[in-house]
Structure 1
């Protein structure tokens, strides 16, 4: 499932020459639409759900949909990167939100935004 862009949050990393999601995507699938200024996935069928773009987004403007075989289309999973931790917000098909927090092995000096 390719990332879902939340248009009210995405600004295409307007302060940068290349958006963070474009920069980090190992498949070179992410791009910014020159008209809307919003990120999008160029080839949704080629996305392999590595979630690199979602983790690196400074505005939390990307999320992944959990495959319908696991949770139907309304379910979502969104990481929120912190300085020393990552929080996963999971929303099930009924709208119930669960939060999981883990220590992060990557530190600020290692290149987190």
Structure 2
């Protein structure tokens, strides 16, 4: 579902234009307010919603988490280290929930060249490259093999 802007809240700062990965958020040259020029191409990435300092952009949510007609508001609160979601249903009910921002500091992720090359035995492993070391854990939880996969001596 595409984004839409509350014109009374938008101050035309252009933060949404700068961050939109599909380049569909534009500033109206007459009214100096943002708008989505091509709603069908919206990725629903919520980048513009999170970046808007005026909280002027909402998204109509998908039916998998918000029923038809519900409005979805996402607010990134860096000072608190959270992302808050607010869903307003057509009947007026409101549901709110908050999650921690789980991102790493910019530049803290090592490039692939800094890792040792994987050995040939790793190709048959269910783990991804450099797991669990790159995740900084001793081991990953694994499901036991199915009975049909167990080898009997």
Mapped pair 1:92 → 2:89: yes
Partner of 2:140: none
Q: Which has the higher contact order (CA 8 A, sep 6+)?
A: 1
Superposed displacement of residue 104, structure 1:
1.1
Q: Output one character per residue of 1:33-56: Cα deviation in whole Å (capped at 9) or x when no partner.
A: 010111001111111211111111
Whose Rg is larger?
A: 2
How many matched pairs?
103
Partner of 1:71: 67
Partner of 1:23: 18
- What pairs up with 1:1-113 in 2 under 5 angstroms? 1-13=1-13, 19-67=14-62, 71-73=67-69, 75-83=70-78, 84-106=81-103
Q: Distance in 2 between matches of 1:37 and 1:4?
A: 15
Name structure 1 gaps, 5 residues minimum: 14-18
Superposed displacement of residue 67, structure 1:
4.0
| Secondary structure, aligned partner of 1:60 | coil
Q: Distance in 1 between matches of 2:57 and 2:22?
A: 17
Structure with greater strand share of residues: 1
Name structure 2 gaps, 5 residues minimum: 107-153
TM-score (norm 2): 0.62
CA 77–33 in structure 1, closer or farther in 2 if over 3 Å, else same: same
